[in-house]
Amino acid sequence: MLNEIVKDAEGRMKKSVDALVENFKKIRTGRAHPSILDSLMVSYYGSDVPVGQVANITVEDARTLAINPWEKQMVPVIEKAIMKSDLGLNPATSGDTIRVPMPALTEETRKGYIRQARQEAENGRVAIRNVRRDANGTIKDLLKEKEITEDEGRRAEDQVQKLTDKFVGEVDKLLEHKETDLMEI
């Protein structure tokens, strides 16, 4: 029973770290990467779909993305979606290809992105701590109902704390890596 609680906590903490990785992908570093457009939705035959499902997104060079829609009528739709998004990108169309140059980051925008990355990391840490609180609450409930001994409860809480430390450490490493990426010129 305690092993299930610890395994569940570990799975939920892993999901929190995975969510943080996805959120970090949305923070632009100045280098072109197709995942920048992952959150971009376009209207396709009446339903909103990710742009990656209606076009091929490739990195043309270090600062340019090339988007090749599979259907010609999608070119203006994708272009309009990029302009309306909060990504701050200006697409340029030539024929069937949409080129999206990545503007160089100024010192001020870099600091803003670092603040955003730190906030995302803190949200990840809070999520991990919430998982710890839930797991420890479940363990305490089992203790109250005398289903486990105090030693077993203490051991399980120690395991949950070790998991918490491990995943918070991962969050810190991811944040450090993202900050390094953002400060590179």
Span 55-73, pLDDT tens digits = 888 888 888 889 999 888 8
* Residue 185, pLDDT score: 61
Total domains present in the chain: 2
Write the CATH number for 61: 3.30.1360.40
* Residue 103, pLDDT score: 80
What mean pLDDT do residues 25-49 have? 80
Listed residues 101, 123, 143: the one ending a domain: 101
Residues above pLDDT 70, as percent of the chain: 98
b/e map of 7-25 (b: 16 or more CB within 10 Å)?
A: eebbebbeebbeebeebbb
Q: Nearest-CA neighbor of 150 among 158, 130, 134?
A: 158
In terms of residue numbers, what domain contains 179?
A: 2-26+106-183
Residues 118 and 162 placed together within one structural domain of the fold: yes
Listed residues 81, 101, 121: the one ending a domain: 101
Distance CA 159, CA 179 (A): 30
* Residue 24, pLDDT score: 84
